[in-house]
Structure 1
Amino acid sequence: MLYMDRIRALELGVLEHGLIRQVEHAHTRCWVCVLSCLLLACVYVGSLYVWRSSLPRDHPSVIKRRCVSVLLVSALSPAAVKAWIHWADIRVDASVWELMGVRLEGFVPALILPLLLTMVFYLGPLVHSAMDNPNGFTMELQSALDVQSWRLSLGDVVWLRNQVVAPVTEELVFRGAMLPMLVPCAGPTAAIFMAPLFFGVAHFHHIKEQRRLQKDSMRVILLVAGMQFLYTTVFGAFTAFIFMRTGHIVGPVLCHSFCNSQGLPDIGSALQHPQRTALLFLYLMGALLFLVLLFPLTDPFFYGAIPVCSLAPAPAPVC
């Protein structure tokens, strides 16, 4: 009897020791995940300042240099994810590119449905633009199909930065690379709200730019930076949700590019418009339809198995 009690005590001790080691490993893994994301965000922002210049950020030479920097960081981000998999001792069947949302399965729905969802949200602003300038709206539609217009756009470095380079690099780094790092530690749902914090904080570097140019007081600069942090974080949560639900990076990139072209909805202008009742109704309808269609249009049924969800410690509704 005494012998059996000793065996049971030893078994319990081994089990307890194993559980403690698992908890310690999980705790270490979380630190590795968070620090990896922080390091990647710092490298992305830091790459913008490797070029010393007194020129403003919208100067063509500054834009070209910074585009080279962030494209290089983005190109290296798969290596960062690969290194994180090794350091965090992650076991996964999918490739690094699949985890980052670069895959073929479900590509066509991922190309169309998230962008359609975003355009639904902008129903009010789009109609507002058409009402204020019908010719301008028509010209925008024509330019979208005009080869010459695309050539002119591709020659505009500001357009390239805002519509191509920024969406591609920011989504690849802040969603494609960071979400796989955060999911094993926090789970898919928490990761959706954690990743945008790195994205929002990364935009604080504009304070240095504004302070150097001395265009506004520090109070105004901080207020603008706070507002920018707020809407970039909210937007980042949306594109992170799109990434987790579709398992593709192309949807977040296209949504990012579209939102950059549209800017924030100008509700203040709508309130002063002669047709404000109709416009406000469309603004409200766009927001309501967006909420109604949010889950149906991002249903994983359209996109196949989501590789990044295989990293989750437990099944989650968002996947």
Structure 2
Amino acid sequence: MDSAEGFLVQPLVRCVVYCIVFIAALYLYGGVDRNTSKSVRQRIVSGSVACGLILTDTLAFTRLPNTSPWRLDSYDLSRIFLRHQHLVLALLLPTLSTGLLFLGPFWHEWRARRFYTLQDYARELWYTSNLIRLRNIVIAPLVEEIIFRGCILFHLQRRFDSCGALCLGSSLLFAVSHFHHVVERIYAGYAVREALLDVLSQVLMTAMFGAYSTLLVLRSGHLAAAFAVHSLCNLMGMPDIAGEMRVAEIHDPRWGRCVYKALLLVGFISWLVLIGPASTLFGLSDSTLCRLP
């Protein structure tokens, strides 16, 4: 019995179990077709419940000695990167810096007159009850960041202490957990090989984002930074750069393509310059992980 209990509290075992619980919850109460209204509602509920259970289990490790389990101040929430110091900066600075990568797509959306303001999105959510957009922009980023960058990263820190190992471990678990989309593709009529190839590119992008998101959390000390950036990336999606350049050229045969390329280049260089200081909140973060020498 002691051996079994010791095995279950091992950090890596805990991380794998969290992934299984989260994915299983989506299918046990949510079905396979993730985009029907019923499935979206059920998965919001099941994902939130799974997140609550995982968070509760993780909080048990952060409880301060000789304190009541029923008081919030009995837990050291900073160990799962939940803190209120400089919260607004943590939400804004990494997000604005990451947004520089989308300068070209932003310009394309503006030229196509599809550029939504925050008020437009809020109005759409309120009047149309667009649950898919709510899931993609709010619920999924919140739940996934709490589980993967809050709880799982906490347990990885019990096992690893280097920035590289933490980013790699978190991103791998995050990416592998997205392989379940193969089931959805097969259910939609894809052949197994086609489904695997289709999901593989998504998994690779997810792994890259997972490492980036983990880096933001470790440098800023804020889970909120990862949530805000995750929401932005889900909102923008994967830009069709080739298609958008063709559209830009149609709108302006002489300068359209050049302007789009220039915006991509300027955005990328600006991101490289700013993401370092922005992710440490320009020196205000007290995190010592993943700091540059």
Q: For the superposition of Structure 1 and Structure 2, which TM-score range results when normalised by the shorter chain?
A: 0.7 to 0.9
Displacement of 1:188 in angstroms is 4.2
Q: Name the CA distance, whole Å, in 1 between partners of 2:229 and 2:196.
A: 27
Aligned with 1:76 (options 33, 36, 53): 53
**Counterpart of 2:198 in 1: which secondary structure?**
helix
Map 1:155-234 → 2, pairs under 5 A: 155-189=129-163, 190-214=165-189, 216-234=190-208
Residue 170 to residue 240, structure 1, CA distance change in 2 (3 Å): same
CA contact 1:33–1:84 (8 Å) conserved in 2: no
Aligned to 2:40: 63
Instruction: Report if aligned partners of 1:107, 1:303 keep a CA contact under 8 Å in 2.
Output: no
Question: Which amino acid in structure 2 is aligned with residue 232 of structure 1?
Answer: T
Q: Secondary structure at the match of 1:305?
A: coil
C-alpha displacement at 1:104, in angstroms?
0.8
Per mean C-alpha deviation after superposition, the further-off stretch among 167-176 and 187-196 is 187-196
Task: Indicate the residue corresponding to 1:152 in structure 2.
Answer: 127
Instruction: Name the SS of the counterpart of 2:21 in structure 1.
Output: helix
Residue identity matched to 2:28 = V
Could you tell me whether the CA contact under 8 Å between 1:78 and 1:96 is conserved in 2? Answer: no
Aligned twin of 1:126: 106
Distance across 1 between alignment mates of 2:57 and 2:121: 39
1:286 aligns with 2:261: no
Partner of residue 245 from structure 1, selected from 205, 208, 219: 219
Give the AA of the match of 1:210: R
What is the rounded CA distance, in whole Å, between the counterparts of 1:159 and 1:146 in structure 2?
9
Pick the aligned partner of 1:112 from 92, 95, 98.
92
CA distance in structure 2 between the partners assigned to 1:247 and 1:166 by the alignment = 21
Q: Tell me by how many angstroms 1:303 deviates.
A: 4.2
Q: Which of 224, 235, 252 in structure 1 is aligned with 2:209? A: 235
1:148 Cα deviation (Å)? 3.7
Please list every run of 5 or more consecutive structure 2 residues that lacks an aligned counterpart in the other structure: 1-5, 64-73, 250-255
CA RMSD of aligned residues (A): 2.7
Name the aligned partner's letter for residue 292 of structure 1.
V
Structure whose alpha-carbon radius of gyration is higher: 1
Structure number with the higher helix fraction is 1
The 1:294–1:316 alpha-carbon spacing in structure 2 relative to 1, beyond 3 Å, is closer
